[in-house]
Amino acid sequence: MTIRADKPLRDIFALPEFAPMKGQFIASASNWFAGGKEAMTLSDLGRIQPTWAAQDMAGGLSRLQQIAQRGNEYVFSFQKDNPARLIHLPADQKASDPFVLLLAGGAYGAVCTLVESLPVAARLNAMGYDCFCLNYRTATPESMVHGLMPAPLDDIANALRWIIEQYGPNPYLMAGFSAGGHACALWGTAHLGAQHYGLSQPAALLLDYPLNSLLSMPPSPVLDYLMQGLFGTGYNQSIAAEYAADRHIDLAYPPVWIEKAMDDDTIPAKDTEALCAALRNAHVPFFCETVTSGGHGFGLGSNTPASGWVERSVSWVKGLNLKTEQEG
């Protein structure tokens, strides 16, 4: 079956090659597709969420279908009694040693792998990069009391340890979207990230409309809900500051590419500006590409001015590596 934008989701999800992906296309503590959403098509999803491009989602699904049809296992549980999962998309012709670990967003209430990670992983596969999409743990009724953090960071650490055990200690890049970008940004810090877990830093972070800090968000019931979900009923500004990436960036922080649309009405511009200022002050190489439109949640962004950002970001990272070699 060809993955088309006009096919009902229930027909796509029912394909035998996608059986291991049950509950993983948009992962959350509850069934995100409940209430009739499985009767919708990819095009319908795009009409409900205008930044979700049906053609990009179809492309990501088609790539995953190709991999699944080869008969190899591609969805992995890497820790006992943990709902987090890794989805492996190996390149057909590997052209680069670094693999890419991708974390989709979803306000820490879901992980929208179908929308963001799969389409970008498909593009990276075509460029010769092996990819792993991480469906990290998200909010539950229990986390609304005790807090979700640092569970997503624990999941990154355990996923990387599993990858190293299975495939060796290769260098890696991280790509993060929205809340997934926040987790990636924290992973670069010394007190909560790779160094804290005794793991190597990523070679670079590719952040697509990332959240940097909840402290930059305007006061609202939604913000209160997010704060409680991440930090529990006893949340305060102090704990939020611990999880504000820009407040913990030093010279050891990895290089960063940031992709951002000017009409993003979810992440305030000042939040991205604070992250850029912190990177600049710490003398960390970074590039922030701001496009005129695209909103929030565009993922690969084929129908937006951000189209091609994956290729541009990878080229920028390669340029940094070439410069280091020349200087060395």
Residue 166 has pLDDT above 50, yes or no: yes
**Topology, domain 22-27+56-327:** Rossmann fold (3.40.50)
Helices and strands (DSSP H and E) totals, the chain: 11, 8
Residue pLDDT, tens place only, 40-71: 999 999 999 999 999 999 999 999 999 999 99
| pLDDT grade for 152, boundaries at 50, 70 and 90 | very high
For residue range 95-130, list pLDDT tens digits in order.
888 999 999 999 999 999 999 999 999 999 999 999
Quote the pTM value: 0.96
12 C-beta neighbours (distance < 10 Å), count: 22
Model pLDDT, residue 1: 62
| Predicted local confidence at residue 326, as pLDDT | 32
Order of strands, edge to edge, in the sheet holding 131-135?
75-76, 85-89, 131-135, 99-103, 172-177, 204-208, 256-261, 286-291
Tell me the C-alpha distance between 238 and 216, whole Å. 14
Share of residues in the chain with pLDDT > 70 (%): 98
Domains of the chain by residue range: 22-27+56-327
pLDDT tens digits, one per residue of 63-75:
999 999 999 999 9
Residue 328: its pLDDT value, please?
26
Cα dist. 232→54, 149, 178 in Å? Answer: 36, 9, 21
Terminal-residue alpha carbon distance, the chain: 51
- Look at residues 264, 266, 287 and name the one whose alpha carbon lies nearest to residue 275: 287
